Structure 1
């Protein structure tokens, strides 16, 4: 009987520790840098996320993992559609795959 209680106690402590680590990790992700952008056109909603044309308000090239803020929502870039490098993107406009956070 005491071995069962000891096992349950160890399991409960392990679960609490796991939940604490997971909560702090999610909280740290939300405090990262966020870029300001406008979503011009949403092309499709898929299981992997949203495919949209995005215009960034800064001059930087978007990278996977960047976060952007638009209309009170925060999105994470999971992919950037590569186009012909000879063509210049007008006004910092890129086709990106996004996931709403």
Structure 2
């Protein structure tokens, strides 16, 4: 899957074309590899290299935050899924045990 993003704010000064590519991790099909690329163009500003560097470091910082958030969400979903399936497993066993007790009497 591929996602392309372009900023719409300050396009007369700063243009950011971002591309995110999600692929299946070949060694483990249960995992995903994310490749993120950004092309930064600063227009008509005397501090061009400074603004490009600042924008690049902000994108890098936000990418790390995004990964941390995704990891947190995955952990929460796994924990909640475990909490939901445990009672379901117990309730499935309970009627079977109750039926076995009734049949013995």
Question: Does TM-score exceed 0.5, indicating one fold?
Answer: no
Specify which structure has the higher proportion of helix. 2
Specify which structure has the higher proportion of strand. 1
- TM-score interval, normalised by the smaller of the two chains: 0.3 to 0.5
TM-score (norm 2): 0.33
* Greater relative contact order structure (CA < 8 Å, 6+ sep): 1
